[in-house]
Structure 1
Amino acid sequence: MSSQHYINEKGAGEKHSDLGHYSQAVILGNIVKCSGQGGWDNEGNLSQYDSRAQIDNAFDNVDRVLQAAGLRGWEDVYCLRSYQVDIGVHWEYLVEKLRKRIPGHRPIWTALSVPRLAFEAMTVELEVEAIRQE
């Protein structure tokens, strides 16, 4: 029987965990499931409706959460779900970020367009699953 170990990285991760009563990630054996990471900075502040800045921050936030769980970061991601307000406006930029961040690695990806996210100014949220390498 595997045990669950919950992770909240310092800064925005702890802030949002307290605010919403949830954890940033859970470790289940060699799998790490990461809660949706928005485009906030490490203090939890959002760039108002700036999709590119939010995508950049969301990528950094995924890295921080996975590293807090003992993984390398995006290199260990096998599954990505993106939730995007007005997906057509910034889908290509998200693809560009993926190509640059993990050029030799292609996780599975489901991209969803949504009418709104948790905070009104949010335009993107990235949810990932990653595997601890043996």
Structure 2
Amino acid sequence: MSEPEFFATPGYGDRQLTTMHYNQAVRIGDRVEISGQGGWDDDFRFPESLEDEIVRAFDNVERTLATAGATWRDVVAVDSYHIPDSPDFIGEVHNRVMVEQFRKRMGDRAPHLDGDRRRRTRRPEDARRDPRHRRGRKRRLSELIAGEAGLPYRTRA
């Protein structure tokens, strides 16, 4: 069995390793797993627009995959967590921007997508103060499973 190799994404990943004692990625042989990624910058600040936040989350997944020697072109499945715009619809911006990013980063390869809508458990006043729980904000990409030519990469983002 291969020994695990651990990777910290330069910037925010180094900070998380120091303060929270975890790495952003681990590789064991052909398999790569990455931790939850969101639309933050290296200082964990979120952009004002939802669209920019989703794009930055995709950028962060890309940065983290790269530290372990993988790319978006290796990804075969994505679990994505959102706070929906309404109980029955994730939101036009969520869907549009995610599709744009998949096409841009993965070309003709379409991943398996499993989404999860989270119920809001906080009052709207609290959501405005806590950027991780803003109504209608993409929270994080979680669990990417990647593989190329039958060599599976399993990635958690």
TM-score, normalised to structure 2, is 0.72
1:65-123 Cα distance to aligned partner (Å, 9 max, x none): 1111112x10111121111112324223212221222121112110111246xx93133
Matches within 5 A, 1:1-134: 1-48=1-48, 50-71=49-70, 73-86=71-84, 87-89=90-92, 90-115=94-119, 120-122=130-132, 123-124=137-138, 125-127=140-142, 128-131=144-147
Distance 1:14 1:21, change over 3 A: same
Identity %: 35
Partner of 2:87: none
1:41-84 Cα distance to aligned partner (Å, 9 max, x none): 23432124x3211111011111111111112x101111211111
Stretch deviating more after TM superposition (39-48 or 76-85) = 39-48
Q: Secondary structure at the match of 1:100?
A: helix
Q: Distance in 2 between matches of 1:82 and 1:88?
A: 13
Q: Highest Rg: 1 or 2?
A: 2
Q: Secondary structure at the match of 1:36?
A: coil
Contact 2:39 / 2:53 at 8 angstroms: preserved in 1? Answer: yes
Q: Secondary structure at the match of 2:36?
A: strand
Q: Distance in 1 between matches of 2:30 and 2:67?
A: 14
**Count of residue pairs brought into register by the alignment:** 130
Q: Aligned-residue CA RMSD in angstroms?
A: 2.3
Gaps of at least 5 residues in structure 1 are none
